[in-house]
Amino acid sequence: MTVVTRFAPSPTGRLHVGNIRTALHNALFALKHGGRFLLRIDDTDLERSREEHVDAIHADLRWLGLHAHDFVRQSQRFATYEREFERLRDAGRVYACYETPEELDLRRKVLLGRGLPPVYERKPAGAPLPQGVAPHWRFKLDHGRSIEWDDLVRGHQKFDPALISDPVIRRADGSWLYLLPSVIDDIDLGITHVVRGEDHVSNSAVQLQMFEALGAVAPHFAHEALLVAAEGKLSKRLGSTGVDALRDAGIEAMALLSLLARLGTSQPVEAKRTLGELAEGFDFSTFGRAPAHFDLAEVEQLNAKLLHQLDYAEVADRLPNDIGEAEWLALRGNVAHLGEAAEWLRVIRGDIEVTEVVPDDKPLLAEAASAAAELDWDNDPWHALTAKLKDSTGRKGKALFLPLRRALTGRDAGPEMGPLVRLMGKDRAVSRFEKAGR
């Protein structure tokens, strides 16, 4: 069996971290098993779907590196849905209903008041039909046996169909709801594994009977625990933290994906450089049932760790032209976001604002200017300079290194000074020491 998975977003807004996690897990599972990962745009709701959101989904997935093997749109498949709908109606598995939303709501309240499950009550055969009212359509569940499957995350699942309302699959205006078109698409596209959030578990129970009614073998299901904010409450930020916001904040795609690949599993979260590395250890058996806690601070930490190990070739096209391999190797260990490299470029080659110099440090810096001017700058000027000053002044440790760093960079911390000083050059270093030592 060739594994085929799909990511099926609705184009009603930008992708956020919950969507990204679903897309990633589908892509990783297919990649691990040498299968195919498909993108399906669920745009049956023509009123709410927007073409700009379709374009944004494509752009977001490209930035994330999640490249689909194929792409389909539900809005181009209405004729197929109509054909299968008629087949189900002829088989007696689809029937018309005429209740208004208000009538249904009132009946649910009555049933709840009686201590009964608020399940839709089928009308007896031959019941009079209202005139001039367009029906909505429901799928008729088979109450004769339980619905069961072995979920890849949740284990064995069992539902009593008699306790589930026959689902509405088509509105009175002829438009489609999610359930039936999704099943038809999964059959036509040969989907073998459906990976989605646990909020779809009851949908899967219903859809299993739809697969059977259409004479198809159902795919395997994996229902994952939903994301929650780090503090344990459902976070509005998770719905608003989109790919565009993360990208604009300087987050590397692989930093985000490294967290989302392991979040909610028993595996350690590590900064990985490729999807292939993430796919190697991807296993649904490691996923727990507890909510997965998402924290942007963890993404930031992974972002820094990832940047610290990236080679120049992996970031060259996103760096300013003035930053070459030597500059990147000197700076990468001290940047949390790629954009910070440009700030350090100004330290290396531009002008800096030096903090006020402690009077006791001025003689040290003046001596540093003289010593630096005499050094062989082609070897290791920083260590030669500090060794000479240590001998001549008796200073060591922070008392020696901090005033020198401040004079050269205007900062108390940063990249290793050896490579930085060589990139800065003799003339600039001597000038900064002279200015600070006056």
Binding site for ATP: what residues are annotated? 236
Distance CA 57, CA 60 (A): 5
Task: Name every residue whose Cβ is closer than 8 Å to that of residue 119 and which is 6 or more positions away in sequence.
Answer: 111, 162, 163, 164, 165
Whether 264 and 292 have beta carbons less than 8 Å apart is answered as yes
Binding region: 236
Instruction: Please give the helix or strand (H or E) that residue 138 lies within, else none.
Output: strand 136-139
Token pair for residue 182? 């999704």
Contacts of 257 (CB under 8 A, 6+ apart): 20, 24, 64, 65, 272, 275, 278
Whose tokens are 């604002």? That residue is 353
Do 342 and 426 touch, CB atoms closer than 8 A? no
* Structure token digits, residue 400: 């020696």
Query: How many alpha carbons lie under 13 Å from residue 210 in its C-beta half-sphere?
Result: 27
Residue 252 and residue 258: Cα distance in Å, rounded? 10
CA angle (331, 336, 337) in 5-degree steps: 90
| Lookup result for tokens 């990208």 | 247
The single residue listed with the structure tokens 């032209």 is 321
The DSSP bridge partners found for residue 201 are none
Backbone dihedral angles phi then psi of residue 396, each to the nearest 5 degrees: -155, 170
Amino acid at 94: V
Q: What is d(CA 69, CA 6) in angstroms, rounded to the nearest whole number?
A: 10
183: Cβ contacts below 8 Å, ≥ 6 apart: 207, 210, 211, 214
Q: Where are the alpha helices (DSSP H) in 223-268?
A: 236-240, 243-248, 253-262
Token digits of residue 425: 């050059």
